[in-house]
Amino acid sequence: MAAEELTLQGHIQHHLTNAKMCSTDAGIEFNKACSEAGFWTWHIDTLAWSIGLGILFLMIFRSAAKKADTGVPGKLQCFIEMIVELVSDNVRDTFHGKSKLIAPLALTIFVWVFLMNLMDLVPVDFLPAFAGWVGATFFGMDSHDVYMKIVPTTDLNMTVGLAAGVFLLMIGYAIRIKGVLGFIKELTLHPFHASNPVVQAILIPFNLLLETIALVAKPFSLALRLFGNLYAGEMIFILIGAIGLFQLPLHFVWAVFHILVIVLQAFVFMMLTIVYLSMASSESH
């Protein structure tokens, strides 16, 4: 795009573009040179921020766990205990199978997604402008060529990655509890039953279609729900920032609403994960 930098469209496009890295014929390339590179283009800003926030989560929780004592708890221990208790209560109420993996999985999903969503409350221009300054002073790049998005969950790759992990776990739990045969039976013999085997055989394609759609809709909706909420939120932040001085009260209002959305979306992702895994590991119907 010519004259990309100084128009509103250009500014918005700049803030909506991830930092890419790919390997082309000319070696490792970044950003604009990646437009021909095809599927294996890495969004290094998403990767860096999500892995960094994951490590932060692990460090904080591990330090609280090591210093935990049964006497008078400190503030960090209290806070971590509140979160763990919330997750544990929800898992106990919702998950009707037996597994030691579910509660730590739910805790990880909740805190990690919440931390990634929390990056959306940092003003949109701050860290990318800082990255642009770093690029200009230390690497001699034009600061408009530095792209960085700090909210990993506004990248569809991140949310689909999380949902794909949950999907694999769903199938894994179903096969572990019911066996491969039981899993296939569940896909082909519900919801239409017939006692006559010939009629049953005819109904199998319909059952398979319905059950497959239901099965695939779960991770699909998980990924898109989180992505849609966060992308729209970030987009509105960028747009509010573009209207001049009036933006301050609007920013405040939207940010307060967004605090609710952040926590809610992380919580809903966690609850749905628990519910889907509970459905997958129980004798249903």
Partner 1 sequence: MELALGLKYIAVALLIGFGAIGTGLGFGNMGGKFLEACARQPELAPSLQVKMFILAGLIDAVAMIGVGIAMFLLFAA
Please report how close the Cβ of residue 198 comes to partner 1 at its closest, in angstroms: 39
Q: Give the SS3 label for residue 144.
A: helix
CB of 15 to partner 1, least distance (A): 10
Q: In what order do the strands lie in the sheet with 41-43?
A: 27-30, 20-24, 41-43
- Candidates 54, 271, 279, 282; binder of partner 1 (CB under 8 A) is 271
Is 117 labeled as catalytic in the residue annotation?
no
Q: Which of residues 196-235 bind partner 1 (CB under 8 A)?
A: 221, 224-225, 227-229, 231-232, 235
Q: Is the CB of residue 43 less than 8 Å from the CB of residue 37?
A: no
Q: Is residue 92 annotated as part of the catalytic site, yes or no?
A: no
Report, in Å, the least distance between residue 249 CB and partner 1.
22
8-15 helix and 197-240 helix, angle to the nearest 10 degrees: 130
* CA pair distance 270, 226, nearest whole angstrom: 11
Q: Which of residues 149-168 bind partner 1 (CB under 8 A)?
A: none
Q: Number of residues interacting with partner 1: please give it, by CB under 8 A.
A: 19
Residue ranges of alpha helices (H) inside the chain are: 8-15, 44-66, 75-94, 102-118, 126-139, 156-189, 197-240, 247-280
Tell me which of 18, 90, 229, 278 is the catalytic residue: 229
* Region near partner 1 per CB under 8 A, out of 26-34, 172-180, 195-203, 266-274: 266-274
Q: Do residues 174 and 250 touch, judged by C-beta distance below 8 A?
A: no
Rounded to a whole number of angstroms, the CA Rg of the chain reads: 23
User: Is 225 a catalytic site residue?
Assistant: yes
Chain positions contacting partner 1, by CB under 8 A:
9, 12-13, 16, 221, 224-225, 227-229, 231-232, 235, 264-265, 267-268, 271-272
